Structure 1
Amino acid sequence: MERPAPHGVSPEAIAPAADLRLEPVMPAGPQKARPVKLLATDSVEDAAVCVFSSALDHFEANAPVFLADESAESVHQMRVALRRLRAGIGTFRDALSGSALAAARDRAKALAGVLGRARNWDVFLDMLAEGPGETLQGDASYEALLAAIETRRIIAYRAARAAVEGRKARAFLADFREAIAKREWTAQPQAREESSAKDFAAAALTKLRKRVVKKAKGLADLTPEERHQVRIALKKARYGAEFFESLFSDADDAEEFSATLAEMQDGLGDYNDMETANTLLDEIDAEGGDALRASGFVRGWFAHAAQAGVAHAKRSEKRLRKLEPFWE
């Protein structure tokens, strides 16, 4: 027997996804995630339904926009939606488990990987324009580098389009919508108790905060991969705060908590983008050609800019340790 849709989630929202190529209604532009609204009476299961549905709604609001104009922001928002979905599944893993959740997590990761390829080239172009691009403007080697990037960007966007409008993506959305509607998972007994969401949220947020503080210890001296893991932990803690903030009374403290984590995440993101840029340059350099000289200049520019990440990392670790939980 199917359960009724929880508050804030229409029956249509948990129905199987429509074919994105035939969707008649399209938002005016890329859409950010809407706030998750939970009630004090919600069970953990109710909260999970709202969080999972919110992430799918976010993805499906941006997919038609991407298919219509292939904007960089729509790619970004689809990736954010998939990250939020995976983070949500991970957040509830102590209460809910099962093959439907595992499959959704894996399928979201695979789709995000394809979109990530397109996003990386977009970010790289932005970094060049904001950094060494002005110095290299008009240089023949730099023009060759831009041409090589654009060629790869076009290929990445073709792959992204094929993935978003393809059968696997449509099946993923439809299957998980159905799983949410039928609650196709194994739930801990307390997860179905009325008003259990708030206590669960407090415990989950405490765990997420402890994890990021632990990973961020000595942040300025960590390797690029270790800093990347800190950034992932920051994202998960921020998404968790956004999922559950409506269960707690002090909205200002919750917003400050999330905003602080987002700022730290962005700072580490700049550092990570430089590491990614070097990987992309490796790909271009492997083919040789006229872009090699500009590539070397860009690498040096990014290496110098990365030094600012050390000071940012030290400030971020201090701020993180002083950041007060809004759920206590």
Structure 2
Amino acid sequence: MPFQLRPYFPPVFSTPALENAPDAVFRPAPRDGVAPENFHAMSIFPEYFKIAGQWHLARESRMDCVAVWDRGRIDVREFRRLRQGDLVAVGRTEQGEEGILVHPDGFRERRVARDVFAFRQGRSRETAFSRDYDELYELLRHERDHGKVVWVMGPAFAFDHDARNAFSRLIAGGFVHAVLAGNALATHDLEAAYLNTALGQNIYTQESQPNGHYNHLDTINRVRLHGSIPAFLKAEQIENGILHTCERHGVPYILAGSIRDDGPLPPVLADVYAAQDAMRAEIRSATTVICMATALHTIAAGNMTPSYRVLADGTVRQVYFYCVDISEFAVNKLSDRGSLSARGIVTNVQDFIVHLSKELIQP
């Protein structure tokens, strides 16, 4: 049976509480970058605002941003994008009391009846993830043709020969529509392609090479000499790896810089807000996000990703969000930061991606 998205059930606006709800109040931003007092902060859930008696859904949302009424629509903006005079929604109730409705149960996810006291209700290294894998296989087959899958990646993949090859196969197979990462993932992937090492260790045997601690710096320096990653790949005749496969198949990759970066590589975005903008440009059309072995990038992507997407025809569909990490702390921290719809899988990400590739890419 083909994968079926859960239908969206909008609020019942004919209830007395919502029919009699007042219009939402919008107040002007007092200055650039500053919201008015009592501003309403957005969540990951669909949110509606009553304006002139009609309820309006924020079509593109983001956690911890504000709602601006602009040219007949709700525009969700970061504080840094506010301009003096922008009309910002105010009010901190969520059930229509102030014309603002947060709708957390629109997709009516299956809930299993549980005893008040029961064992193993969290998601940990002891959790059985067989069902999660089966659902993910079917989801990705659906999204390959009908959605957009964004992968948020830490550098762990580049340390392993099989993991690099497995993810490259997923890119070539159409299961990857954008990659969000940092300088480290790109550096070690290119080092692996150029010198067959990652941080000086052979990517298959894990044996350290003589003077190998120079390898990643030599790789960065060589890329900088050529001026860009595509030029490096061509000049050095690189024919393998994650970035090579992205370039070959036209898959965009965003490399967000950090204060610890070596080099960095030429395309790394050193301006944190430029990096945030570039990440959000990919996230805002994503329908599935899979984050692997990178706590900070995962939380950043989680903050940008609402639980829903409004398609071009007006259909509201669910956004699926996965966090894969060998650390239970990383998986659970995402929920602690507000990404309540995230599904966690506690496992080695290298094994995870090899397992995924074997199932999705048929010989």
TM class by shorter chain equals under 0.3
- State the TM-score, normalized to the length of structure 2: 0.24
Q: Which has the higher contact order (CA 8 A, sep 6+)?
A: 1
TM-score under structure 1 length normalisation:
0.26
Larger Rg: 2
**Higher fraction of helix:** 1
